[in-house]
Amino acid sequence: MTENRINILKIIIQSTTIGYLIGYRHGKNVFTFDKDYLQDENRLTFSMRYVSEKTIAPLASYHRLPQVFSNLLPEGALRDMMTQTLKSSSEFVAFASVGHKLPGGIIATPIMLDELPNYAYGSNKNITPAQDKSLNTRDLKFSSLAGVQLKFSAKKGADNRYNINLSEFDDWIIKTPSTRYDFVPFNEYTAMSLAKLAGVDVPEIRLVKLSDLTGLPSAIALPNEQYAYAIKRFDRLKNDIGVTRIHTEDFAQVFGQYAQDKYLKANYEKIGYVLAESVDDKLTNIKEMANRLLINILIGNGDAHLKNWSLIYHDGIHASLSPAYDIVSTKVYMENEKNQAFKLGKEKHWYSLSMAHFQQWAMKISPEQGEKVWQEVKQSLLATMDIVRDTWPDALYDLPMDERQKDSLKAHMASLHDDFKVDLSPTFKLSPS
């Protein structure tokens, strides 16, 4: 018999064993669901993709982890930093190194070979598994999060300083300034503030002086800017017994796509259809999504791809749309950008999109109750536009976005379809004395 050396991670959510992730030395990775988990009538939700199946074949991949796990790892510069620190490009090694600090509710814990159930070995009778003791995850000096932009998990201290470390229960996400684009923290803080003003569900956000951050990796390059952007984590909940992990998943995980395909093989109708079919309080979630789509059009956010929409499982089982994140005006950096990430009613062009396209979207995602859904969405969108036209001009004047970027945003919003056009000239309305 052939010996095949493996490393094993037990995948846990809220102390429930979901399954076993095996990494083979030759690059194959296999995840096998725990049998007891699959047979549990009231089981926790691991992914909307597998929410109802009683039998699920092992998830196998080569040189990458299965999509549901791969999407929990960072992209771009952060992935490069992990690779250099770990001295390995293996996703399995990277995943193991941050197994207790992953986004959402998943914990990945190394186990020994004798703890692995026989059924998780697979069906190849010619292979005798043996423990691979070569796994070396090293000591990461930062807690990395999924995404391209440099961002770190941090713990806010009593002194109002933010410590970037490997705490399992960090409660903030810190995004440092970009060396490629000017004043991104100001941009995102402004865009998210405007979204919140328009009624979008937004976590607590702050601008934080770089001097108030401790533990930033020394290797990262920073521009001559003073502020980072901070957003409160919605996947961690403080309570009387400490901190609870809240399980989440982005729509790349829901649709089984790797991060590299986050702009492909999907549209806003597919995301909306999941909300219409599979979440609690469907109408509330649909209206929330519609309002976020509208905000993205208004501020010129062309980056609302699959990984920037997520589900959250507050009780571990039932899904709803997570609070908003990563809303930023990409238009102010890309003068010739004219399209959003996906089609809405068969249209991507910002300056062609109108209420009619939202109507097509609403009718498509809920065929049986399309007209009812559309009327609810329409009233929500009209109310949002009233708020935007009434509050955004003065709010934008006071928000910290760079003045040149404000001018670009004003020009963008003045060029939208009449349904969504907004004059952002400040009115300087006086508050009643």
Q: What is the pLDDT of residue 433?
A: 47
User: If DSSP codes are grouped into helix, strand and coil, which group holds residue 426?
Assistant: coil
Interval 279-300: pLDDT, tens: 989 999 999 999 999 999 999 9
Residue 235 to residue 104: CA distance in whole angstroms: 5
At 200 the pLDDT is 98
Buried b (16+ CB within 10 A) or exposed e, 60-80: ebeebbbbbbbbbbbbeebbe
Q: What is the pLDDT of residue 91?
A: 93
Give me the pLDDT at residue 220, please. Answer: 82
Strand partners, 163: 155, 214
Residues pairing with 22 in the sheet: 8, 30
pLDDT one-digit tens code per residue, 374-433: 999 999 999 999 999 999 999 999 999 999 999 999 999 999 999 999 999 988 665 554
State the Cα–Cα distance between residues 218 and 56, nearest whole angstrom: 44
The whole-number pLDDT of residue 124 equals 53
Q: How far apart are CA 275 and CA 268, in angstroms?
A: 11
Q: Mean pLDDT across the chain, nearest whole number?
A: 89
Specify whether the CB–CB gap between 333 and 181 falls below 8 A.
yes
pLDDT over 90 percentage in the chain: 70
For 131-148, write each residue's pLDDT tens digit. Answer: 555 555 555 544 444 444
**Edge-to-edge strands, sheet with 162-164:** 205-209, 227-232, 172-175, 151-156, 162-164, 213-214
Q: How far is CA 131 from CA 3, 4, 30, 249, 361, in A?
A: 10, 9, 15, 31, 52
Handedness of CA 65, 68, 69, 74 (dihedral sign): positive
Give the list of residues 6+ apart from residue 305 with CB closer than 8 angstroms, or none.
262, 263, 341, 342
Helix 370-398 crosses helix 184-197 at what angle (to 10 degrees)? 130
Angle at 263 between CA 420 and CA 108, to 5 degrees: 120
Q: Is 13 helix (H, G, I), strand (E, B) or coil?
A: strand
How many other CB atoms are there within 10 angstroms of residue 423's CB atom? 12
Residue 376 host element (H or E) = helix 370-398
What number of other Cβ atoms are within 10 A of residue 220's Cβ?
14
Task: Tell me the per-residue pLDDT of 73-125, one tens digit each, with 9 for 90 and over.
Answer: 988 877 887 888 888 889 999 999 889 889 999 999 999 888 999 888 765 54
pLDDT more than 70, % of the chain: 91
| Count of CB atoms situated within 10 Å of the CB of 289 | 22
Return the structure tokens found at 305: 């791809």
Give the residue-averaged pLDDT of 246-256: 96
Give the pLDDT confidence score for residue 1 in this predicted structure: 44
User: ∠ CA(392), CA(398), CA(399), 5° rounding?
Assistant: 80
Residue 172, C-beta contacts closer than 8 angstroms, at least 6 positions apart: 153, 154, 155, 156, 162, 230, 231, 232, 233
Mean pLDDT value of segment 51-68: 91
- Chain-centre distance for alpha carbon 415: 30
DSSP letters of 254-322?
A: HTT--GGGTTSS--HHHHHHHHHHHSSSHHHHHHHHHHHHHHHHHHT-----GGG-EEEETTSS--EEP
Does residue 139 have an active-site annotation? no
Residues facing residue 59 across a β-bridge: 31
Helices (H), 147-281: 184-197, 251-254, 268-278
Q: Which of 235, 303, 326, 423 is an active site residue?
A: 303
Model confidence band, residue 217 (pLDDT cutoffs 50, 70, 90): confident
Among 59-73, 82-96, 113-127, 226-240, which stretch is predicted with the lowest mean pLDDT? 113-127
